[in-house]
Amino acid sequence: MRQRILRTTDPPIGKDTNAMTKKTTPYQLMTLLSPSSLGVRFKLNAKGMTLIEIMVVLLIIGGLAAVLGQTVFKNLSNSEVKQTKIQFKEVSKQLEMFSADCGHYPSTEQGLQALVQDPGKDVCPNWGPEAYLKDIPKDAWKKPLIYESDGTSFVLKSLGKDRKDGGSGAAKDLLSTDPD
């Protein structure tokens, strides 16, 4: 026997055979003829998603990953170049301080080691009292910066992502004399 919750606005059921012939509201009709009131039970879809639905979701996720991955790797490459240029500027400041103290830049042979360790009183009598740099600086690709100088000017160089002379794009060599 089916059970039903009756509302005070519902027409009487059972003995009143004219219940359907009376003027009823759409809500009352829906309640009277609803599958649950007729004893019909719906079974929930227990199978989950179909293979095609899963494939469509994976296709959408793959497309988003491809687009976002490209953007992320491009930004990573740009940030490595910017980081190396910032490193050039910081080392250049220390080279300027060395030049102010010593009257010249370190030679190519002395390299950036002259900023880390005192090259001697014969090379620079006013060196220090503390080191200009703690360590030999490295570029964004963890390779030491290349230093070239004639004593009156200097150039800092990074071989870029490919770590080889030359290159283009992300593998291009970076110079401290390059415009930003």
Check residue 17 and report its DSSP letter: T
Q: What is the CATH number of the domain that holds 96?
A: 3.30.700.10
Residue at 115 is within a domain: yes
Q: What is the pLDDT of residues 10-48, one digit of tens each?
A: 655 555 555 555 676 766 666 666 655 555 555 555 567
**Which strands make up the sheet holding 146-149, listed edge to edge?**
146-149, 154-158, 174-175
Q: Is residue 31 part of a domain?
A: no
pLDDT of residue 58: 95
Q: How many domains are contained in the chain?
A: 1
pLDDT in tens, 118-167: 988 888 888 878 899 999 999 989 999 999 998 889 999 998 888 888 77
Encoded tokens for 84: 């190396």
Nearest Cα to Cα of residue 128 among 171, 94, 166 = 94
Does some domain include residue 14? Answer: no
Tell whether 4 is covered by a domain: no
Q: Which domain covers residue 101, as residue numbers? A: 80-175
pLDDT band at 87 (very low <50, low <70, confident <90, very high): very high
Residue 124 domain-assigned (yes or no): yes
pLDDT, mean of residues 88-113: 92
> For residue 50, is it within any domain?
no
Average pLDDT for 163-174:
80
- Per the domain annotation, does 114 fall within a domain? yes
pLDDT score recorded for residue 179? 79
Residue 38 lies in a domain: no
Structure tokens belonging to residue 48: 């989950």
Q: What is the pLDDT of residue 2?
A: 60
Q: What is the mean pLDDT of the chain?
A: 81
